[in-house]
A and B are shown apart, each in its own frame.
Chain A
Amino acid sequence: MSVLPASAPASAGPTSRIVVDDVRMQFVLRHNRSLKELAMAAVRGKDLGNTFMALDGVSLNVDSGETVALLGHNGSGKSTLLKLISGVMHPTSGSVRLRGRIAGLIEVGAGFHPDLTGRENVYLNGAILGMDEAAIRARFDDIVAFSEIERFIDTEVKHYSSGMFLRLAFSVAVHTDPEIFLIDEILSVGDEPFQRKCLDRIRELKDEGRTLVVVSHDLNMVSDLCSRGVVLQHGNQVFDGSAADAVAHLRSL
């Protein structure tokens, strides 16, 4: 991803990959959109009553090669934090800084289009995730082999079963070459054997020294996979420590 160079964050160490510094994210819950409502809002001054802090002062420093589990109950702000790290959203205040290329797997298959064939989707998604044509071509066979859907690769994706769709999408994602992977809830894809394959592949990425931030509600799996755990509660960071302790903390909430 071509991004402009930015100032170095204050709290960075020599091995820091991701530095999230005192980030707040505020959402407006109800949008004043109709002309009448807009006029009312203008007359009365901005209505601040219906804003909501999805993240309230979160700081995080992830080192290169670390595997961090982001835990928390529904609506605690995990996906929002990943979106801020991937650049899909910008924080209301605070800052996010990265070193290295990033692939945000906020949702598998986000860039897939049902009317394109599997093959076309592999190329399109490879390009979306930052690969160039040569790289996709070189990895195409691996991607298809990993997904195990060779026979259907020239079928339109809308005719895939949902598991097949997720297999192909996941397969493209884990064959890209970023230093940082953000993974949101995607390990629950596919059937049992494919899940195991995905986990093996993610362990491989980890062993290659890539940095992983993983969101999942499968607590046993994350405590096994990750070395570090961060727990969010109502947008506040309430725990940061070993993954096993983080899981214990979350269970006690």
Chain B
Amino acid sequence: MSARDLTAQPWTEPGRGSGLLDVVRRRYLLKLLVRKELRVRYRGSVLGLAWSYVKPGVQYVVYFLALGIFLQQSRNIEDFPVYLFSGLVVVNVFTEAFGNATRAVVWNAPLVKKIFLPRELFPVASVWVAGVHFVPQLVVLLVGALLSGWRLEVLPVLGAVLATLIIAALATGLGLLFGSLNVVFRDMENFVDLTNMVVVWLSPVLYRWDQVTQVVPAWVGVLYQLNPITVAVELYHYAFWWPGTRDTPATALPPDLLVNSLVAVVIAAAVLVVGQLVFRRVEGRFAIDL
């Protein structure tokens, strides 16, 4: 066959894509990657996805006994079981998404080295998998809240949606940032594990926000409140715990929740942008270093 005239076809540079936008374009592949990760995670496992109930369940019981009963937080905090669980689910989904996204590129080294794909697919798929594990926990939370007098209201539900978006953007952005750096410096995954260990203590999950702000300098209190994870946790309290407990004084939510939420949205969006930029910067090294 003789060569065709291709003048009308545009030239492209191989290996240059449009980042997260390409992930949206290739969502069928994203879906299959998510399915693969779930399948691989539970290979040869009898309980399978049920592990995503068991693990947070055990963790919850431990925290409830140690903090709620032994340290008597359930006296300080009205309706402590719901309070604890609504904060824990947020921290769980964040730490799982962040930790896995950080390892995603390295895990998929054979693909990254041999076939060009929008590499953002891998961290995004990990975040998505964390989302899959999050759904059953959310269902359990909803049932628990209903039993404690929760009723559907528009604003709290919007708050939960906003919090979920904040967490998703934050975990994706941080996952892109640390996941790309992890290819060059494997120290990153250890660093992220360490961070994930303290996240639960740096937000009002196991205690009330004012138990922190009472004892730290004012500026630390402000920083503490602006932590996007703190904001997401408080929004979840607002969504699932507050509607059933608001009549008691001990239930006070932080006063600046609305402003803090807006700041958290800005921070999460900024982290996402920075993560994407750094990822694209470092991406050139992936196939060389892996």
Interface residues of A (CB under 8 A from B): 1-9, 12, 14-17, 27, 31, 33, 63-66, 83-90, 95-100, 102, 104, 106-107, 110-111, 113, 115-116, 120, 123-124, 127-129, 132-133, 207-209
Contacts and interface: CB of A to CB of B under 8 A. Distances in A.
Interface in B34-81: 35-36, 39-40, 43
B282 to A, nearest CB: 12
Contact of B3 (A63, A106, A127): A63
B16 interface: yes
A195 B2 CA distance: 27
A14 B13 contact: no
20 contacts: A2-B22, A3-B12, A4-B13, A4-B16, A6-B12, A14-B7, A31-B289, A88-B112, A88-B116, A88-B287, A98-B12, A98-B13, A99-B10, A104-B116, A106-B115, A115-B43, A116-B36, A120-B36, A128-B115, A208-B1
A22 B215 CA distance: 65
Nearest to B6: A99
A22 B173 CA distance: 36
Given A64-B6, A65-B1, A128-B111, A8 B25 contact: no
B18 interface: yes
Main secondary structure of the interface of A (DSSP, over half): loop
Given A89-B288, A116-B39, A99 B114 contact: no
B115 A88 contact: yes
Given A104-B114, A111-B115, A4 B12 contact: yes
A31 B2 CA distance: 47
B32 A113 contact: no
B287 to A, nearest CB: 5
B6 A15 contact: yes
Given A87-B14, A124-B36, A65 B185 contact: no
B114 A96 contact: no
A12 B29 CA distance: 33
Nearest to A83: B287
The 4 closest A-B pairs by CB, nearest first: A87-B15, A87-B14, A110-B114, A15-B3
B277 interface: no
Given A4-B12, A95-B13, A207-B1, 14 more contacts: A5-B10, A15-B4, A15-B5, A65-B3, A86-B14, A89-B288, A104-B116, A110-B110, A116-B39, A120-B35, A120-B39, A124-B32, A127-B29, A128-B29
A9 B14 CA distance: 13
Contacts of A1: 17, 116
B28 interface: yes
A89 B4 CA distance: 28
Contacts of B5: 14-15
A129 B115 contact: yes
Nearest to A4: B16
A66 B4 CA distance: 11
B36 A65 contact: no
Contact of A115 (B9, B26, B39): B39
Q: Which of A17, A27, A86, A90 has the most CB of B within 10 A?
A: A90
B267 interface: no
B117 interface: yes
Interface string B187-200: 00000000000000
A16 B3 CA distance: 9
B136 interface: no
B287 A89 contact: yes
B13 to A, nearest CB: 4
B189 to A, nearest CB: 14
A2 B117 CA distance: 9
A132 B6 CA distance: 25
Contacts of A104: 114-116
A249 B68 CA distance: 80
Q: Which of A2, A3, A207 has the most CB of B within 10 A?
A: A3
A88 B110 CA distance: 11
A89 B15 contact: yes
Nearest to A79: B114
